[in-house]
Structure 1
Amino acid sequence: MTDTLASATLRSRIEWIDTDAAGIYHNSTVTRLVESTEAALTRERGLEGYFPVAPRVRFEADFEAPLFFGQEVTTTVSVAELGTSSMTFTFEVWGEEFEGAPRVRAAKGRYVTVHLDRSGPGRPQSAPWPADWVERLRS
């Protein structure tokens, strides 16, 4: 039997701060959308204190289509792999129908986080994910 791992979807809108003067989104907006969706996922699963102990160690994105000021977007983040002390996520960012143009995937990618133990002196070290978090991330 294969475990189903957690995922979350968040609907939002491209705001002026996300764009250049022409109203086209900055590539960095994808990171903001993904992190907002990851935050929703961790809230939904009750992973309190997740972000301070789960830094990104790898982030890659393929940018496929522009997004525009005012356009609604749907971002999905899914846990693809849950290791002992690392976790790999995949994501997709979709631009919803806008000004007569059809819905389009704007970006896709993956990233890796590592769990850190910050309880001791000195530099934090990677450590296994808390058992209750692992349980909550498995549906």
Structure 2
Amino acid sequence: MIKVGVLGGGASGMTAAVVASRNGADVTILERLDRVGKKLLATGNGRCNYTNDIIDIGRYYSDNKDLLQECLSNITSQSTIGFFRELGIEPFYDETGKVFPYSLQASSMVEVLREEYLRHGAKEICGQRVLAVTPV
């Protein structure tokens, strides 16, 4: 079994833990704060704007437009919405194209991500700093 260490229990780290644990990896999230998802709870004014219905390169700022275009072409808002629908989160679209959980509560996102990776056997170590990573 592949062992995966995820550094950081934010939105990306929790999502990575879901995907890796679903695929059979032995996953451990290492989070500096006292719990995972803590910063996520503050996103979108506590509502968690998790994607945008309209993804247009003109709405983003970057010194490297080619890299930005490559990143934006690798995932769509519909695939992100579908991923969270699988976890039980229905989308709420605001008038500007921002997409939030229908509950308008960031805690909904933290709960479903955490429940999913724990269900697949992932573990958490919180309140610890990672000072170095060395290959074994």
Report the TM-score when normalising by structure 1.
0.25
Higher strand share: 1
Higher helix share: 2
Report the TM-score when normalising by structure 2.
0.26
Greater RCO, CA 8 A, separation 6+: 2
